[in-house]
Chain A
Amino acid sequence: MRSLLSLIALPSLLFFSSCSAQIKNAQTTIVRIDGDCPMCEKTIEKVAYVKGEAEADWDVDAKTARITIDSTRTDVDAVLQRIAHAGYDSERYLAPDAAYAALPGCCQYERTFKRKAMTTHSAATDHSGHDHAHDAPVTDAPQATGEALGPVFDAYFDLKDALVASDAKKAAAQAAELSSAVKAVPMEGMDADLHTVWMQEMELLANTSAGIASKSKLEEQRKAFAELTEAMLALVKARPDTTPIYLDHCPMYEGGADWLSRDKAIRNPFYGAQMMSCGSVKETIVK
């Protein structure tokens, strides 16, 4: 009897132990998180951890964390918010000052992200009226750094045109192209500002475009497209071009949604022929 029991128990034990360490639908992201010492590591990893949902492995030297999440149950932002609430700045979230102040002395790391945010502040307030004064040196940087994103923009606009034409098949194909274009962007030589934005948006871009590529229904593609636009908008704003890009707004779709276009004329990608000219230009983004 005992041997029979262990026969049943053994494989099931193996099964459970191999399962417990794993996160289903795992999606891994590497994020920069400020911190100083092994104690920081302990805190960061502890607050990040939710059984079966999220975990982080923070490297004190590189100051980066490998965050693994079950993408069906949570997102990286939720993890980074928990870490920030515990007092640690990351490339996406700044900790509340009170949370930072509450850290033990040895953990009071240098707040590089925070400092950077506050520096842009002084630049902006010192030159009020010249909003982009602090951007001046950037214009000297080789145009190539921005051009690296060329294929991403091209793929996005092709995808938009496919949605305007209500062609689900073509939209899926263009989305796949966008997804691979995102992965192919060389990050070397990209200047710091653009790099920060790129790091913030890259994951969403890659995921959303891959998502659209996997969908066969127009409604689903369009829903994801609205999300995709938010990420693209951040990129356009980080690196405006001399040829204008138009931010268009459709008030009807899902309580209001935006898209980007190179043409001034409204051609609605959320409704296509159903409501082709619904929407208006919200902003013209030009260097």
Chain B
Amino acid sequence: MDLLRILRTLALLIALLYLLLSGDVIAQTGTPGHPLGTSTPEGSFTPRTTRYELIVRDTIVNYTGKSRKAFTVNGQMPMPTLTFTEGDTAEIVVHNAMEKEETSLHWHGIILPYELDGVPYLTTAPIKAGETQVYKFPLLQSGTYWYHSHTKLQEQNGMHGALIIHKRNEDPMPEQVLILSEWTDMKPFEVHRRLHTANDWSAIKKHQIRPGTVQSYSDAIKEGAFGIKLTNEWKRMNAMDVSDVYYDLLFANGKPVDQAGQFKAGERVRVRLINGGASSYFWITYAGGKMTVVASDGIDVEPVEVDRFIMGIAETYDIIVTIPADSTAFELLATSEDRVRSTSMWLGDGIRQLAAPLPPLKYFEGMEMMNDMMKMNGDLDDMGMNMSLQQMDMNVVMYPEITGAKDATLVEGAGHSHGGDAYNSNALSDIVTLNYAMLRSPTSTALPPGPMKEMRFELTGNMNRYLWAIDNKTVSETDRILIRKGENVRIIMYNNSMMRHPMHLHGHFFRVVNGQGDHAPLKNVLDIMPMETDTIEFAATETGDWFFHCHILYHMMSGMGRVFSYENTPPNPQLPDAKKAARIFARDDKEWHFMVQNDFATNGNDGEAMYMNKRWNLQSEWRLGYTKEHGQEVETHFGRYFGKMQWLFVNVGLDWRAREGHGGSEPDDNLFGQRNTKNSRSVGHIGFQYTLPMLLVLDLRIDTDGQLRSQLMREDIPLTPRLRLDLMVNSDLEYMGRFRYVLDKTWALSTHYDSDMGLGVGVMVTY
């Protein structure tokens, strides 16, 4: 922190001096998208104002043969690279040229006044359609940063770009910016909605490229892992995956493949890598030898030589690589963590030297590992390994390049040796993988003296309903956390969820307590793996409100975050109506999602619809027969989920049915010896659903006539990647079985047998 503070003070002093002497700042003009006035004469310390004009538009792009909406800035996607020199003043004029949509730009990793931080309704006014916002701030730091929209899901399709600040008087060396991102033909809104309905179409798409991704029972049998799959479902887990979203393409600087041909043999090139993806971690490997990591999240670290490293979402790394030969292009390969796709940057020009591709994941090894770690109550058990800082990577069991080919290790029931170096990638192989413990700051980052405020965060979440939170509370369900200028803040995070999370703090650099003492590295994004405990610390030197959140876009939009708020912050001129702004800011994770499914079958229409948010669900199921004997029934209930795993759903509802009985009278009693009212019912009910092992849903209810009903149901048993089985039986002696064959994200073929309606075949539509 010392370094930053000194730099900041210095830069401010220089800026002030200059202003006093000249009476004005130099503002220059020119074509949009280009740095204007960045050419500082060497050796001079004259602060400049570097001005950019950015014009945000929405446009139609076509990468895969399908026309899709995307956002461009100055006609570019990703947004143009903004280049500055430390000590300059940045003046960025943002025009929202869209017709309806509002937008925002957040300067990721930049130290600036909070009202310019660009989180709409939290720190800064949104930029409404047709409006212009001017951001002007001194640059107190140098390094590799980026900027992106903080509005809704705009970051996913186009609104991300590189922001580079050069050191003053740094020795010039060849360099290359590489911003990584993803492209999906599915609208981000749709991606988000489907994640909340536990729809696994993404896995089926990935399965086409990497067989085994769905982890169906047939896949399990093929791998000799039937028991592992069974245990997995017993512990109430759906198929495990390292990432949730299927992407059609990955981009290097907005292209499927990019090339920088200007480099010559023997040159050392600084590559400024930015993970501008919305939800993908990237593995980085290089065909031309080792990579030397020299900075992380913009801040220098002592050089460390590695074979590969993983980039959390929103992390930046500066590496130095050597170009070994002329007339040859060397592949800098970025592979998504699920290893479904990759993108490359070719360094040099000529015949292309490929990097070794990362072999497919051993999913059932991963599943077995999760089985071992998952307790029956949904908590994770690290088996006393005290995991932290990416050193013990449980995922190594899935990496063939570290733990050997599939057949060598998967011995069902044999278990693995835990503890020791069982998951230490660097001890298990010759491949050197970077982890946070290897990062060391070249200068002291010790905190200034001051009182320490310590807090503990447990990262929680579940895949079934895609609820992501801290201590099982979302942003809108908690108050802002008050901190005081001058104190130090320590956060001890424990990841008790099954996914890794890149946690990002706005406007501050935190030290990652990693065993390097006073030389702990400074970062603004921390990747924390399941079961890890990490400690970060920062000096509270600012004022205002600062967002702290998971940088997986869909986790953030689901509410995984907190707001730190400085005490005694004066009213924010950007948000004159603070209460209203706060209400709108809280809306993001309160979003309601709609889904509906209907089976158009020969024996009737069978379907359900849900309108739900993170805690509540309004659900309706119907069976509409074509004959009077089959009759019609509709059940509707509304209720709330409880617990972080959300296995309990308490609800009230209405149950209505009408049909002509078989032979005119009501059929047999139900299991509880009560008279069955299957033929005519119009009642209210109260009850609960509870998810049992094997993902069986127990539904118990009592209706306003005092009738009891108990029902067991299991939906979506993945027999094969596309063939699914639904089963149901209840105490009214009704039962149902259905096979579904998934054709695409909307259509499926089905055949089902139902105790009331008999056998039918149909076409099923899912939205």
Instruction: Please report A residues at the B interface, Cβ cutoff 8 Å.
Output: 81, 84-85, 91-99, 113, 116-118, 120-121, 123-125, 128, 131, 193, 196, 234, 237, 251-252, 255-256, 278
Expressed in whole angstroms, the Cα–Cα distance for A49 and B141 within the complex equals 52
Quick check: A113 and B325 within 8 Å, CB to CB?
no
The 3 closest A-B pairs by CB, nearest first: A121-B325, A124-B265, A96-B356
Expressed in whole angstroms, the Cα–Cα distance for A256 and B79 within the complex equals 12
Q: A251-B34, A255-B254 are in contact. Are A96 and B355 (CB under 8 A)?
A: yes
Expressed in whole angstroms, the Cα–Cα distance for A193 and B350 within the complex equals 11
Expressed in whole angstroms, the Cα–Cα distance for A63 and B372 within the complex equals 52
B353 beta carbon closer than 8 Å to chain A: yes
Expressed in whole angstroms, the Cα–Cα distance for A166 and B327 within the complex equals 36
Nearest Cβ distance between residue A78 and chain B, in whole angstroms? 11
Expressed in whole angstroms, the Cα–Cα distance for A95 and B356 within the complex equals 8
Nearest Cβ distance between residue B565 and chain A, in whole angstroms? 39
Q: List 21 A-B contacts (CB under 8 A).
A: A85-B357, A92-B351, A93-B351, A93-B354, A94-B354, A113-B351, A117-B325, A117-B350, A118-B325, A120-B325, A120-B328, A121-B324, A124-B265, A125-B266, A193-B327, A234-B349, A251-B34, A252-B74, A255-B75, A255-B77, A255-B254
Interface hits, B567-616 → A, CB 8 Å: none
Residue from the list A81, A91, A96 in contact with B287, Cβ < 8 A: A96
Quick check: B352 and A120 within 8 Å, CB to CB?
no
Nearest Cβ distance between residue A266 and chain B, in whole angstroms? 13
Nearest Cβ distance between residue A18 and chain B, in whole angstroms? 28
B76 beta carbon closer than 8 Å to chain A: yes
Expressed in whole angstroms, the Cα–Cα distance for A255 and B356 within the complex equals 30
Expressed in whole angstroms, the Cα–Cα distance for A92 and B74 within the complex equals 35
Expressed in whole angstroms, the Cα–Cα distance for A125 and B326 within the complex equals 9
Q: Report which residue of B75, B266, B327 has the largest number of chain A beta carbons within 10 angstroms of its beta carbon.
A: B327
Q: Report which residue of B31, B287, B350 has the largest number of chain A beta carbons within 10 angstroms of its beta carbon.
A: B350
Quick check: B265 and A96 within 8 Å, CB to CB?
no
Nearest Cβ distance between residue A279 and chain B, in whole angstroms? 10
Q: A128-B266, A131-B264, A251-B34 are in contact. Are A99 and B352 (CB under 8 A)?
A: no
B303 beta carbon closer than 8 Å to chain A: no
Interface hits, B406-424 → A, CB 8 Å: none
Expressed in whole angstroms, the Cα–Cα distance for A270 and B266 within the complex equals 36
Nearest Cβ distance between residue B648 and chain A, in whole angstroms? 49
Quick check: A98 and B356 within 8 Å, CB to CB?
yes
Interfacial chain A residues near B356, Cβ < 8 Å: 96-99
Nearest Cβ distance between residue B399 and chain A, in whole angstroms? 14
Quick check: A117 and B351 within 8 Å, CB to CB?
yes
Interfacial chain A residues near B351, Cβ < 8 Å: 91-94, 113, 117, 196
Interfacial chain B residues near A256, Cβ < 8 Å: 76
Quick check: B326 and A124 within 8 Å, CB to CB?
yes
Residue from the list B33, B77, B326 in contact with A120, Cβ < 8 A: B326
Nearest Cβ distance between residue A70 and chain B, in whole angstroms? 14
Expressed in whole angstroms, the Cα–Cα distance for A279 and B519 within the complex equals 46
Expressed in whole angstroms, the Cα–Cα distance for A81 and B352 within the complex equals 9
Quick check: B328 and A94 within 8 Å, CB to CB?
yes
With contacts A95-B354, A255-B75 known, what are 5 further pairs, Cβ within 8 A? A94-B352, A97-B356, A120-B265, A121-B265, A256-B76
Expressed in whole angstroms, the Cα–Cα distance for A173 and B265 within the complex equals 41
Expressed in whole angstroms, the Cα–Cα distance for A117 and B31 within the complex equals 41
Expressed in whole angstroms, the Cα–Cα distance for A200 and B34 within the complex equals 34
Nearest Cβ distance between residue B307 and chain A, in whole angstroms? 11
Interfacial chain B residues near A124, Cβ < 8 Å: 264-266, 325-326
Nearest Cβ distance between residue A274 and chain B, in whole angstroms? 13
Expressed in whole angstroms, the Cα–Cα distance for A279 and B718 within the complex equals 56
Interfacial chain A residues near B354, Cβ < 8 Å: 81, 84-85, 93-96
Expressed in whole angstroms, the Cα–Cα distance for A92 and B354 within the complex equals 10
Query: Dominant SS at the A interface?
Result: helix
Expressed in whole angstroms, the Cα–Cα distance for A131 and B266 within the complex equals 11
Quick check: A117 and B266 within 8 Å, CB to CB?
no
Expressed in whole angstroms, the Cα–Cα distance for A95 and B287 within the complex equals 10
Residue from the list A94, A98, A128 in contact with B353, Cβ < 8 A: A94
Interfacial chain B residues near A116, Cβ < 8 Å: 327
Interfacial chain B residues near A128, Cβ < 8 Å: 266
Interfacial chain B residues near A84, Cβ < 8 Å: 354
Quick check: B33 and A251 within 8 Å, CB to CB?
yes
Interfacial chain B residues near A92, Cβ < 8 Å: 351-352
Expressed in whole angstroms, the Cα–Cα distance for A125 and B352 within the complex equals 19
Expressed in whole angstroms, the Cα–Cα distance for A270 and B75 within the complex equals 14
Expressed in whole angstroms, the Cα–Cα distance for A105 and B517 within the complex equals 51
Interfacial chain B residues near A99, Cβ < 8 Å: 356
Interfacial chain B residues near A237, Cβ < 8 Å: 349
> Which residue of chain B is the closest to A230 with respect to CB atoms?
B259
Interface hits, B456-512 → A, CB 8 Å: none
Expressed in whole angstroms, the Cα–Cα distance for A196 and B354 within the complex equals 18
Nearest Cβ distance between residue B256 and chain A, in whole angstroms? 11
> Which residue of chain B is the closest to A255 with respect to CB atoms?
B76
Quick check: B327 and A120 within 8 Å, CB to CB?
yes
Expressed in whole angstroms, the Cα–Cα distance for A128 and B77 within the complex equals 38
Expressed in whole angstroms, the Cα–Cα distance for A85 and B333 within the complex equals 13
> Which residue of chain B is the closest to A282 with respect to CB atoms?
B262
Expressed in whole angstroms, the Cα–Cα distance for A84 and B31 within the complex equals 44
Nearest Cβ distance between residue B210 and chain A, in whole angstroms? 15
Mark B19-34 against chain A: 1 for CB-CB distance below 8 A, else 0.
Answer: 0000000000001011
Expressed in whole angstroms, the Cα–Cα distance for A118 and B325 within the complex equals 6
Residue from the list B75, B77, B254, B327 in contact with A117, Cβ < 8 A: B327
Expressed in whole angstroms, the Cα–Cα distance for A121 and B283 within the complex equals 28
Expressed in whole angstroms, the Cα–Cα distance for A121 and B326 within the complex equals 5
Nearest Cβ distance between residue B473 and chain A, in whole angstroms? 42
> Which residue of chain A is the closest to B325 with respect to CB atoms?
A121
Mark B351-394 against chain A: 1 for CB-CB distance below 8 A, else 0.
Answer: 11111110000000000000000000000000000000000000
Nearest Cβ distance between residue B77 and chain A, in whole angstroms? 7
Interfacial chain A residues near B328, Cβ < 8 Å: 94, 117, 120-121
Expressed in whole angstroms, the Cα–Cα distance for A97 and B331 within the complex equals 13
Nearest Cβ distance between residue A99 and chain B, in whole angstroms? 6
> Which residue of chain A is the closest to B352 with respect to CB atoms?
A93
> Which residue of chain A is the closest to B32 with respect to CB atoms?
A252
Expressed in whole angstroms, the Cα–Cα distance for A125 and B265 within the complex equals 7
Nearest Cβ distance between residue B291 and chain A, in whole angstroms? 15
Nearest Cβ distance between residue A238 and chain B, in whole angstroms? 9
Interface hits, B724-751 → A, CB 8 Å: none
> Which residue of chain B is the closest to A85 with respect to CB atoms?
B357
Interface hits, B247-263 → A, CB 8 Å: 254
Nearest Cβ distance between residue B557 and chain A, in whole angstroms? 27
Mark B222-261 against chain A: 1 for CB-CB distance below 8 A, else 0.
Answer: 0000000000000000000000000000000010000000
Interfacial chain A residues near B355, Cβ < 8 Å: 96
Interfacial chain B residues near A234, Cβ < 8 Å: 349
Expressed in whole angstroms, the Cα–Cα distance for A57 and B349 within the complex equals 28
Expressed in whole angstroms, the Cα–Cα distance for A160 and B763 within the complex equals 55
> Which residue of chain A is the closest to B266 with respect to CB atoms?
A125
Interfacial chain A residues near B266, Cβ < 8 Å: 121, 124-125, 128
Q: Report which residue of A116, A118, A124, A125 has the largest number of chain B beta carbons within 10 angstroms of its beta carbon.
A: A124
Interfacial chain B residues near A118, Cβ < 8 Å: 324-325
Nearest Cβ distance between residue B166 and chain A, in whole angstroms? 20
Nearest Cβ distance between residue B212 and chain A, in whole angstroms? 19
